[in-house]
């Protein structure tokens, strides 16, 4: 996946496909280390471009632009999973994509993702792939209500999915399928909590795990991540073992995240993200190294740093509708580390930033959050 195994050292150039907040935080971590940054994104002055040395303004599947980025860069990474596979394969063949195209191929497609999890013996909700109306009717012969139908490609923050509660709603599933063509139906799991395992794996197979966050969603969007998750040692071990199994099977390089459901002492694997993850933002302030800096070390062939949690932490997302209140709180509050992403327009439900609170106990952290929320009013 690389032309040679020599480390890529500053001030060489890291190319990033995608100019959103994850790319921005990768770029900031890399610039602290002395690297130069080039970014490919169709939006001029995107969040990553604001901290980069060069932006190529073009579509992600524009092969001339992809070749330009590859030529400019000593190594290339990506900040989202829906990277054009033709482009990724080209960069990999050029020896500049240590993460490879395979992880993208799997995580872009829920069918491939679930089949891989199943093939390595990991617990997943019961599922069926559906492409016709008869497939849907056959799926509901074995999958009990409630269930959820999802697009096999695309979809995030609750988009691209529909809950089905009864026979009377099957027609809605058929309509959803007709609009989206290739879908997956999964059993709806009742679970106690959601966690995510965020880890980094090196070119040599060395792997480091960040403390596991416990995630809370509102309207299908991650609201906050609390660290450490309130889970048993047995659940923690099962989650780490499952993540390592997938990481080794996929030959993961870089920071990677796996979302899991916890039901009692059991875990079920939900989805994977082949890049740093929203639930890992807390690592910037609460760990001895962030998920972004560790990612840069991995793709550049540097040894990974040991990870320790220095504080209890809660990360809260800032959405478009929160932004005015956050600005107000900033003027009167010292609590929280505020990260704003430099996006051009604050829209409802759009992630505009996040704030991380740290303390010596979760009670202390929750007090900080309450004071911050009061100051937003």
DSSP annotation string for 107-171? HTBHHHHHHHHHHTT-----EEEE-SHHHHHHHTTTSPSSEEEEESB---TTTTEEEE-SGGGHH
The answer to whether 124 and 118 are in contact (CB under 8 A) is yes
For residue 194, give every residue at least 6 positions away whose Cβ sits within 8 Å of its Cβ, in sequence order, or none. 214, 215, 216, 217, 259, 260, 261, 262, 270
Chain segment 121-146, per-residue pLDDT in tens: 999 999 999 999 999 999 999 999 99
- pLDDT tens sequence across 103-126: 999 999 999 999 999 999 999 999
pLDDT score recorded for residue 159: 72
Other beta carbons within 10 Å of 264: 9
The stretches in the chain having pLDDT less than 50 are 1
**Residues near 128 by Cβ (< 8 Å), separated by ≥ 6?**
135, 138, 139, 142, 143, 184, 185
DSSP secondary structure letters along 309-343: B-SEEEEEEEEGGGHHHHHHHHTT---SEEEE---
Predicted local confidence at residue 189, as pLDDT: 87
Given this model, what pLDDT does residue 170 score? 93
How far is the first Cα of the chain from the last one, in angstroms, to the nearest whole number?
51
Beta strands 221-227 and 214-218, pairing class: antiparallel
**What pLDDT, on the 0 to 100 scale, is given for residue 293?**
98
Please, are residues 258 and 196 in contact by the beta-carbon 8 Å criterion?
yes
Element (H, E) at 209: strand 207-209
Shortest CA distance to 154 belongs to which of 108, 113, 111?
108
Q: Give the C-alpha separation, 173 to 329, whole Å.
A: 44
Q: Which residues of 338-356 are buried (b: 16+ CB within 10 A; e: fewer)?
A: bbbbbbeebeeebbbbbbb
Given a contact cutoff of 8 angstroms between Cβ atoms, the answer to whether 23 and 51 are in contact is no
- DSSP assignment, residue 99? T
């Amino acid at each position: 996946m690389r032309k040679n195994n020599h480390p890529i050292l500053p001030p060489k150039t890291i190319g990033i496909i995608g100019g959103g907040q994850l790319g921005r935080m990768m770029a900031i971590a890399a610039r602290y280390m002395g690297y130069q940054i080039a970014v490919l994104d169709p939006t001029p002055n995107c969040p990553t471009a604001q901290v980069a040395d060069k932006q190529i303004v073009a579509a992600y599947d524009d092969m001339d632009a992809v070749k330009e980025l590859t030529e400019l860069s000593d190594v290339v990474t990506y900040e989202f999973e829906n990277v054009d596979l033709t482009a990724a394969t080209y960069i990999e063949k050029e020896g500049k994509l240590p993460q490879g195209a395979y992880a993208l191929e799997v995580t872009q497609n829920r069918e491939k993702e679930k089949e891989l999890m199943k093939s390595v013996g990991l617990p997943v909700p019961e599922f069926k792939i559906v492409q016709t109306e008869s497939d849907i009717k056959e799926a509901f012969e074995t999958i009990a209500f409630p269930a959820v139908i999802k697009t096999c490609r695309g979809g995030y923050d609750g988009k691209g999915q529909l809950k089905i509660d009864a026979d009377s709603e099957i027609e809605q599933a058929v309509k959803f399928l007709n609009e989206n063509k290739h879908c997956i139906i999964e059993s709806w799991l009742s679970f106690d909590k959601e966690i995510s395992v965020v880890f980094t794996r090196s070119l040599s197979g060395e792997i480091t795990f960040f403390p596991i966050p416990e995630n809370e969603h509102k309207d299908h969007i991650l609201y906050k991540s609390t660290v450490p998750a309130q889970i048993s040692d047995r659940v923690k071990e099962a989650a780490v073992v499952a993540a390592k199994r997938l990481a080794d099977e996929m030959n993961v390089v870089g920071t990677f995240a796996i979302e899991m459901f916890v039901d009692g002492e059991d875990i079920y694997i939900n989805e994977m993200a082949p890049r740093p993850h929203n639930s890992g933002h807390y690592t910037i302030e609460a760990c001895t190294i962030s998920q972004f800096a560790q990612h840069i070390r991995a793709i550049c062939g540097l040894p990974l740093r040991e990870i320790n949690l220095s504080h209890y932490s809660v990360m809260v997302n800032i959405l478009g509708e929160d932004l005015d209140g956050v600005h107000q709180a900033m003027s009167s509050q010292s609590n929280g580390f505020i990260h704003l992403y430099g996006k051009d327009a604050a829209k409802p439900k759009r992630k505009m930033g996040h704030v991380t609170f740290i303390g010596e106990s979760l009670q202390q952290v929750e007090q900080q959050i309450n004071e911050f929320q009061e100051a937003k009013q």
